Structure 1
Amino acid sequence: MSGPGISVVVCAYTEDRWEDILSAVSSVREQTRPALETLLVVDHNEALLTRLSERYRDTPGVRVLANAGPRGLSAGRNTGIAASRGEVVAFLDDDAVAEPEWLRHFAAGYADPNVMAVGGRTLPLWASGRRPAWFPEEFDWVVGCTYRGLPPGRVAVRNVLGGNASFRRTAFDAAGGFATGIGRDGDRRPLGCEETELCIRLSRARPDAVLLIDDRAVIHHRVPRARERFAYFRTRAYAEGLSKALVTRSVGSRKGLESERRYATRVLPAGVARGVRDALLARRGGAGRAAAIVAGVLTTAGGYAAGRLRSRGGDVTFVVAPVPAPEGEEAA
């Protein structure tokens, strides 16, 4: 097998996703380019840790680990990085399944030694069977999926999206691990942006670093009914604003909002225009999509403003975790 060995990290936290977790692991084991290993990192849930350990006790290439850090996705990912052996570490959400060519497309991106990260395309699996008529594709990031406005093909980007991403191990040597205190931590508020902050930090540590998205590396992400509702849309948009405020506190507003400026000034106005046009043509959901985009922008902006105020007050902190080398190796 040519190319780098790839370890896949799947972070899990609840038994409610038991079948989803099994499906995620199965999709990794069915790759046309086999993973070096699959690491299941369980976030402070002893019952789930025991159950998964028993389920995969005799399964070659699958290891079950407890999150060695504080509660949250960032620490879980850092635990997986530290325990992994691959030259590349890939991340897959616990409620997603990867298409069989997923890792092959990731591996191909690393033929260029300057490539430090490769992400893919994430498509929604709606629990109701189809996209809600009012839900704009421009806001698919709300449900952890690739949104309208990202360039197609294999292209250089500022940051990859964390649930469908991979990093060269040396990226963590250069920049450290995922910052705790930004992303999801088991709280009800669905925060995010930890991968954005890491990617910007990586580009600063390695100015020659290239970060790619290859839209042939596809996963399918389950969207439960609760997340198809406008209440979740609004909550997630507000949380994104809070998260972006933390990112800009870390890396500055120029880089922290670089992609968002184009998105807000080009992609979203075009989306509103499409929705209004569809409404005038009596097409289903047009007015709702236009209204949702406007509401999403205003809600995200409100979260960002609140986050900036909290940051000035000094009551928000996050920590960039160093990632130890795998067992048997010395840190770079």
Structure 2
Amino acid sequence: MTTTPGSAAPESAALESGVPVSIVIVSRNRPEALRRCLTGVGQLQYAPFEVIVVADPTGAAVARDMPFADALKLVAFDTPNISAARNLGVAQAAGEVVAFIDDDAVPEPQWLRHLMAPAQQLEVAAMTGFVRGRNGISFQYRARQLNAQGTPEKLDVDPENFSVLLPPQGGAIKTEGTNMAFRREVLVSLGGFDPAFHYYLDETDLNMRLARAGHATAIAPLAEVHHGFAANHMRSANRVPRDLFDIGASWAVFHRKHLPQTERAAQWARLRADERRRLLRHMVSGGLEPRDVARLLHRLDQGHAKGVERPLGAGMIAQEPASAFRIFPARPRRSVAMFTRPIKLAKDRANAAKRVDSGEIVTLISLSPTALYHHVVFDPANAIWLQTGGIYGKSARNEAVFRLNRRRDRLKTEVRRVARQRGFSDDC
């Protein structure tokens, strides 16, 4: 095992200080995912911030079990309505900016530092970052904008620096629900999230309202979170749909709020056809039975009919927060990378855990002499970032399947790939 020399970034020697931030995490029926998320939040290198957990009883029990439980603001909520839950979090938020991360996501240690950098510009009302998928390397979401129908479209931005963008004509800049932040005063002025969106399109609706109010949104690519798409009542862990009722309802609500009456039927027909094609792809791949397709489409139609009748209107959030700012006990941590091999992984994982306990952020990279693809996971049991794969295998999915490398050069490449997100120096 080796450790990178001089791997503490200059900015990680002390906490990055900026505007006060309230982080809101909504959790329901995913206690272990919440534990992993909170463990990652505990390594954030930023100050000051507070953490608000809006959770069901199982999630609340996990929050109370965390070593920093006394520093959390805990709000009990066990209703399947993410908009209402987020509004409860905003009501408790005492920070100038309110950030949101899903319970099945983990932030990079420098997440808030990069996400909050645009907040120094007063015209910026919203901020969002990039999202990595379940392999920890490929991007699930990057920069996107919304067209007038609420459909996301790719957007080209500088991948190394934040961009401040005004909304396109008739559309909006997309914030990703698992990686976004808003000035609290703006959220309050807009009424927060609309509880008519129980699940899906909740932030899309907010983006459209932000755009209509003329607000600018910043996209900060290096503000990264890792999102795993944990199972819920809507989908399985491998993203196979379980129920489409809320998706149908949310589209109906969105169309009523943002589309002219004359366009709604045709747009709904297009969306329904897209959902049918998606279900058929899952059926062909073995994820669904033929009878499931008919059942799920029926639930989609039922949801749409319900959404046509749902009362509209954003929630009412008090201008003054319901509780004082509760500073999370973040501490400066040195970020280090440890290198090992599969045969020594168990031993070095234990050593890495000890270094985490001593106050470091540890990335453990285990490479075999193969062309295996790379994967990155945040291990909540040991609170370490673990990367596995082959010396000759690809990490970014646009790389060659096989690439001849020296072990030392490959390790340096992988450290530099996440240097600014994790807090390594550029020359390690």
Give the TM-score of the pair, scaled to structure 1.
0.65
Counterpart pick for 2:317 among 318, 323, 330: 323
Counterpart pick for 2:255 among 234, 248, 260: 248
Counterpart pick for 1:160 among 146, 170, 175: 175
Amino acid in structure 2 at the alignment position of 1:65? V
Counterpart pick for 2:100 among 91, 113, 123: 91
Q: How does 1:12-23 map to 2 (within 5 A)?
A: 12-14=27-29, 17-23=30-36
1:79 corresponding residue in structure 2: 88
Task: Give the 3 Å change call, closer, same or farther, for CA 130–195 of structure 1 in structure 2.
Answer: closer
Looking at structure 1, the residues matched to 118 and 47 of structure 2 have their Cα atoms a distance apart, in angstroms, of 16
Higher strand share: 2
Task: Give the 3 Å change call, closer, same or farther, for CA 230–95 of structure 1 in structure 2.
Answer: closer
SS at match of 1:23: helix
- Structure 1 gaps of 5+ residues are 132-136, 142-146, 185-191, 269-284, 290-299
Looking at structure 2, the residues matched to 70 and 83 of structure 1 have their Cα atoms a distance apart, in angstroms, of 18
2:411 corresponding residue in structure 1: none
1:150 aligns with 2:150: no
- The structural deviation recorded for 1:194 is 0.8
Amino acid in structure 2 at the alignment position of 1:251? H
Amino acid in structure 1 at the alignment position of 2:251? K
Task: Give the 3 Å change call, closer, same or farther, for CA 130–249 of structure 1 in structure 2.
Answer: same
Looking at structure 2, the residues matched to 308 and 231 of structure 1 have their Cα atoms a distance apart, in angstroms, of 16
SS at match of 2:250: helix
Counterpart pick for 2:72 among 62, 65, 68: 62
**Per-residue displacement from partner, 1:228-260 (whole Å, max 9, x unpaired)?**
25445xx56x85454233112123359x99xx9
Looking at structure 1, the residues matched to 209 and 304 of structure 2 have their Cα atoms a distance apart, in angstroms, of 20
Looking at structure 1, the residues matched to 49 and 260 of structure 2 have their Cα atoms a distance apart, in angstroms, of 38
1:217 aligns with 2:232: no
1:32 corresponding residue in structure 2: 45
Task: Give the 3 Å change call, closer, same or farther, for CA 54–328 of structure 1 in structure 2.
Answer: closer
SS at match of 2:317: coil
Mapped contact 2:250–2:304 kept (Cα < 8 A): no
Task: Give the 3 Å change call, closer, same or farther, for CA 174–303 of structure 1 in structure 2.
Answer: farther
**Per-residue displacement from partner, 1:99-135 (whole Å, max 9, x unpaired)?**
1111011111112111111011122216xx999xxxx
- The structural deviation recorded for 1:60 is 5.3
Counterpart pick for 2:206 among 173, 198, 202: 198
**Per-residue displacement from partner, 1:285-324 (whole Å, max 9, x unpaired)?**
9xx89xxxxxxxxxx9999987666555x3x234411112
Amino acid in structure 2 at the alignment position of 1:195? E
Deviating 4+ runs (over 3 angstroms): 56-61, 152-155, 229-232, 238-242, 300-312
Higher helix share: 1
Amino acid in structure 1 at the alignment position of 2:217? L
**Identity in percent:** 25
Mapped contact 1:160–1:212 kept (Cα < 8 A): no
Amino acid in structure 2 at the alignment position of 1:175? L
**Per-residue displacement from partner, 1:2-34 (whole Å, max 9, x unpaired)?**
4311110111112xx323212211222211223
Amino acid in structure 2 at the alignment position of 1:322? M
Mapped contact 1:245–1:304 kept (Cα < 8 A): no
Task: Give the 3 Å change call, closer, same or farther, for CA 85–41 of structure 1 in structure 2.
Answer: same
Give the TM-score of the pair, scaled to structure 2.
0.52
**Per-residue displacement from partner, 1:152-198 (whole Å, max 9, x unpaired)?**
434435231222110001112320111112132xxxxxxx0011112
Looking at structure 1, the residues matched to 75 and 239 of structure 2 have their Cα atoms a distance apart, in angstroms, of 34
Task: Give the 3 Å change call, closer, same or farther, for CA 219–229 of structure 1 in structure 2.
Answer: closer
- Structure 2 gaps of 5+ residues are 1-15, 145-150, 166-171, 275-280, 286-295, 325-428
Looking at structure 2, the residues matched to 33 and 74 of structure 1 have their Cα atoms a distance apart, in angstroms, of 27
Looking at structure 1, the residues matched to 218 and 92 of structure 2 have their Cα atoms a distance apart, in angstroms, of 25
Task: Give the 3 Å change call, closer, same or farther, for CA 71–304 of structure 1 in structure 2.
Answer: closer
SS at match of 1:110: helix
1:103 aligns with 2:89: no
Looking at structure 2, the residues matched to 27 and 53 of structure 1 have their Cα atoms a distance apart, in angstroms, of 13
Mapped contact 1:246–1:307 kept (Cα < 8 A): no
2:10 corresponding residue in structure 1: none
Mapped contact 1:241–1:301 kept (Cα < 8 A): no
Amino acid in structure 2 at the alignment position of 1:326? P
Looking at structure 2, the residues matched to 173 and 11 of structure 1 have their Cα atoms a distance apart, in angstroms, of 19
SS at match of 2:46: coil
